[in-house]
């Protein structure tokens, strides 16, 4: 990239964390949302999360490096705002994100571009100041590219696509930004 990137927008499910049993991130997210909507007690959701999900082991060091180098960070997800914020707080990583934007907050899915535009507006960044990192070609890479944003797809068994900038690990993100 010719400019120094000022912000990294991460997808949540399948990017920041994954299933320990190998379930597809959409299945896990939908189960969490269902449990959240049915139960008024987040303990049930947290019990499931503690059994099913694990943070990417490279995540916290990457987030620390980004923050130490002045990058803004966001989570952008087709999730419910209160539920996702609670999950991020449960994992103890809220302090690393400047903003959390969900489809419920902006009343539009990532595919409709609104969540990314909203995050850019809130953080005062333009499309050349941002990269997007996610695990879904259709929901992360295509919307970012539509807005002229560089996007990186975390390579998994379920997202092989020839037209993507692949990364194998979140630990590659600082190098993409030129941070050693």
Residue 162 is predicted with a pLDDT of: 63
* pLDDT at residue 1 tops 50: no
One-character DSSP codes across 146-164: HTT-EEEEEP-TT---SSS
Q: How far is CA 2 from CA 76, 82, 111, 175, in A?
A: 24, 37, 27, 14
Task: Spell out the residues 6+ positions from residue 128 whose beta carbon is closer than 8 angstroms to its own.
Answer: 3, 148
Residue 2 has pLDDT above 90, yes or no: no
Provide the residue ranges of all domains of the chain, joining segments of one domain with +: 7-17+57-176
Is the entire prediction scored with pTM above 0.75? yes
pLDDT tens-digit series, residues 90-113: 999 999 999 999 999 999 999 999
Superfamily of the domain at 7-17+57-176: HAD superfamily/HAD-like (3.40.50.1000)
**What is the C-alpha to C-alpha distance for residues 142 and 123, in angstroms, rounded to an integer?**
21
| Apex 114 CA angle, 143 and 177, nearest 5 | 55
Q: Could you tell me the two tokens for 104?
A: 């419920």
Q: pLDDT digits over 120-168, tens only?
A: 999 999 999 999 999 999 999 999 999 999 999 998 777 676 688 999 9
Q: Which of 128, 49, 124, 139 shows the shortest CA–CA distance to 86? A: 49
> CA–CA distance from 102 to each of 51, 74, 107, 125, 148 (Å)?
24, 10, 8, 18, 21
């Amino acid at each position: 990239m010719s400019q120094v990137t000022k912000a990294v927008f991460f997808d949540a499910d399948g990017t920041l964390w994954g299933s320990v049993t190998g379930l597809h991130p959409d299945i896990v997210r939908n189960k969490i949302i269902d449990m959240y909507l049915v139960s008024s007690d987040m303990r049930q959701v947290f019990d499931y999360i503690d059994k099913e999900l694990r943070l990417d082991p490279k995540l916290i060091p990457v987030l620390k490096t980004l923050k130490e180098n002045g990058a803004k960070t966001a989570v952008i997800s087709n999730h419910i705002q209160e539920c996702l914020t609670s999950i991020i707080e449960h994992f103890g990583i809220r302090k690393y994100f400047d903003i959390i934007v969900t489809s419920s907050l902006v009343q539009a899915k990532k595919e409709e571009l609104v969540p990314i535009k909203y995050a850019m507006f809130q953080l005062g960044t333009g499309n050349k100041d941002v990269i997007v990192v996610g695990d879904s070609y259709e929901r992360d890479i295509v919307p970012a590219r539509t807005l002229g944003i560089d996007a990186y797809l975390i390579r998994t068994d379920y997202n092989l696509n020839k037209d993507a900038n692949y990364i194998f690990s979140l630990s590659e993100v600082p190098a993409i930004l030129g941070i050693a």
